[in-house]
């Protein structure tokens, strides 16, 4: 099975970064992945298939990201965050001097879209239920990651209750996702979204070269 689809093309396309450590057990994300692969012009990367050893090709990833106008983060929510390999991808690919900080302007003006699934129902994300917070409370790390890179964070597409939802509801959600990819950037609501936030990192906040925090 192919793990990646790279149609090439110029900046302005879509890069779907799909991360699921156990596709065999996936009910929703697998169908979303196949929907993305069906959209002409989408560059789709199954991260766990491409990098089973976690050895990310940073140059290749930066090249694919540079060609895109929209980065889609497609994954299940695991422990209120993203799968481990997706986090490693962010750590290594969104490097200082390329994605943010001094000279890091490669992603400025692009869009970032979170497409996520949760095992718990929507009502479980409530102060009076076991997840204790509304789902929006878990979004700031995603929003700030986008902002630091000069990207616009689009309203997420979230599918709650992935283990219990009916097939009819799931099919409808997958179709919404497919249609959104196919119609980007012609989304009416984009006109009302603010421009990308500017977050300048002062040189004094960066360690010396080759030093770690």
- Ordered by where they begin, the domains of the chain are 4-205 (3.40.50.360)
Which pLDDT band, with edges at 50, 70 and 90, does 211 fall under? Answer: low
Contact 195, 152 (CB under 8 A): yes
- 25 pLDDT higher than 90: no
Query: Between 6 and 129, whose confidence is greater?
Result: 129
Q: 165-180 burial string, b = 16+ CB within 10 Å, else e?
A: beeeebeebbeebbeb
- 208 pLDDT higher than 70: no
Q: Where is average pLDDT lowest: 7-11, 21-25, 57-61, 117-121? A: 7-11
- Confidence (pTM): 0.91
């Amino acid at each position: 099975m192919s793990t990646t689809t790279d149609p090439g093309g110029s900046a302005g396309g879509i890069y779907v970064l799909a991360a699921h450590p156990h596709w065999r057990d996936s009910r929703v994300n697998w169908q979303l992945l196949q929907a993305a692969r069906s959209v002409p012009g989408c560059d789709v990367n199954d991260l766990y298939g491409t990098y089973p050893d976690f050895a990310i090709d940073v140059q290749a990833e930066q090249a694919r990201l540079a060609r895109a106008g929209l980065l889609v983060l497609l994954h299940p929510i695991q422990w209120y965050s993203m799968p481990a390999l997706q986090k490693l991808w962010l750590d290594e690919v969104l490097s200082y001097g390329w994605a943010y900080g001094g000279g890091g302007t490669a992603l400025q003006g692009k869009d970032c879209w979170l497409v996520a699934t949760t095992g718990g129902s929507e009502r479980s994300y409530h102060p009076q239920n076991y997840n204790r917070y509304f789902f929006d409370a878990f979004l700031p790390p995603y929003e700030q990651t986008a902002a630091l890179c000069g990207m616009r964070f689009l309203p997420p597409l979230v599918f709650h209750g992935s283990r219990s939802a009916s097939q009819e509801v799931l099919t409808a959600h997958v179709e919404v996702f497919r249609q959104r990819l196919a119609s980007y950037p012609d989304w009416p609501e984009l006109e009302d979204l603010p421009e990308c936030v500017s977050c300048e990192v002062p040189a004094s906040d960066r360690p010396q070269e080759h030093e770690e925090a």
